[in-house]
């Protein structure tokens, strides 16, 4: 259970990072 929870948290963080990068690139353009 703990490992699955950690994977979910990592997935959410990765998703947030991708969104942040995408928004940053849009702002630069």
Per-residue confidence (pLDDT) for residue 20, from 0 to 100: 96
d(CA 11, CA 4) in angstroms, rounded, equals 11
Q: Is the pLDDT of residue 1 over 80?
A: no
Average of pLDDT values for 17-29? 92
Task: Categorize the per-residue pLDDT at 27 as very low, low, confident or very high, splitting at 50, 70 and 90.
Answer: confident
d(CA 4, CA 8) in angstroms, rounded, equals 6
Per-residue confidence (pLDDT) for residue 29, from 0 to 100: 76
Could you report the per-residue pLDDT of 7-16, keeping only the tens digit for each? 999 999 999 9
Domain boundaries, the chain: 1-28
- Tokens (6 digits) for 2: 């703990």
DSSP 8-class letter at 20: H
pTM for the predicted model, two decimal places: 0.60
């Amino acid at each position: 259970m703990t490992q699955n929870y950690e994977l979910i948290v990592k997935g959410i963080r990765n998703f947030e990072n991708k969104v942040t990068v995408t928004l940053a690139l849009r702002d630069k353009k």
